[in-house]
Chain A
Amino acid sequence: KQEVTQIPAALSVPEGENLVLNCSFTDSAIYNLQWFRQDPGKGLTSLLLIQSSQREQTSGRLNASLDKSSGRSTLYIAASQPGDSATYLCAVEAGYSTLTFGKGTMLLVSP
């Protein structure tokens, strides 16, 4: 059974810092890995999707990497801003379009 773990559970940084969020999964037989952000009381916003054959994806200040063989992904946020404050969720798809989610990292960026 696939399990997804995200470390740290919470992170507080001053504005402008670069930061890394970690995600690990137990079964490397995945189709893709997705990163989402969730703002309080809101739905999830898709940030990046990395196919199993890819090593990384970039969108603006976000860069996600995938090491499928070791079961790890990182989300790198450059020059963090208070608007980046949210919960970041990692999810892996192992087939049949079904996502298994981690419990998230709650990020607070202070001005």
Chain B
Amino acid sequence: DTAVSQTPKYLVTQMGNDKSIKCEQNLGHDTMYWYKQDSKKFLKIMFSYNNKELIINETVPNRFSPKSPDKAHLNLHINSLELGDSAVYFCASGPFEGRQFFGPGTRLTVL
């Protein structure tokens, strides 16, 4: 029944490591997103994919690389993790320019 799912829910890692977060949606939506929520709870768009094509790439370091193998999946790979990458990362999906549905979030802690 889960609409938008993310794995893992928690991720604790050392600086300099590479990690991935996976996202899947079973709602049949064309568009998927990654958002970052910082320690002050401010939510900001990182990437937006429509039909597996990147349409938005906000000012995000190129250590972050999204990959969409198909319309139902959007994964986020992060290279050379830094302390400032610690945040909650949310995946979302929706019809293009429509209502967005969010996953439960992945809390990333970089030590």
Contacts and interface: CB of A to CB of B under 8 A. Distances in A.
- The judgment on whether A and B are partners is yes
A91 B98 CA distance: 12
Of the candidates A31, A43, A46, A93, the one having the most CB atoms from chain B within 10 angstroms of its own CB is A43
A95 B48 CA distance: 12
Contacts, number: 58
Interface of B is mostly: strand
19 contacts: A32-B97, A34-B100, A36-B102, A43-B90, A43-B102, A43-B105, A44-B90, A45-B102, A49-B99, A93-B97, A96-B56, A97-B33, A97-B94, A97-B96, A97-B97, A97-B98, A98-B45, A98-B58, A101-B42
A98 B42 contact: no
A74 B102 CA distance: 22
A89 B44 CA distance: 12
Interface string A96-107: 111111011000
B30 to A, nearest CB: 9
A21 B102 CA distance: 22
Contact residue range for chain B?
Answer: 20 to 34
Contacts of A93: 97
Contacts of B103: 43
Chain A binding surface, main DSSP class: strand
A42 B99 contact: no
Interface of B: 4, 31, 33, 40-45, 48, 50, 55-56, 58, 90, 92, 94, 96-105
Interface residues of A, number: 23
A98 B56 contact: yes
Interface in A79-96: 87, 89, 91, 93, 95-96
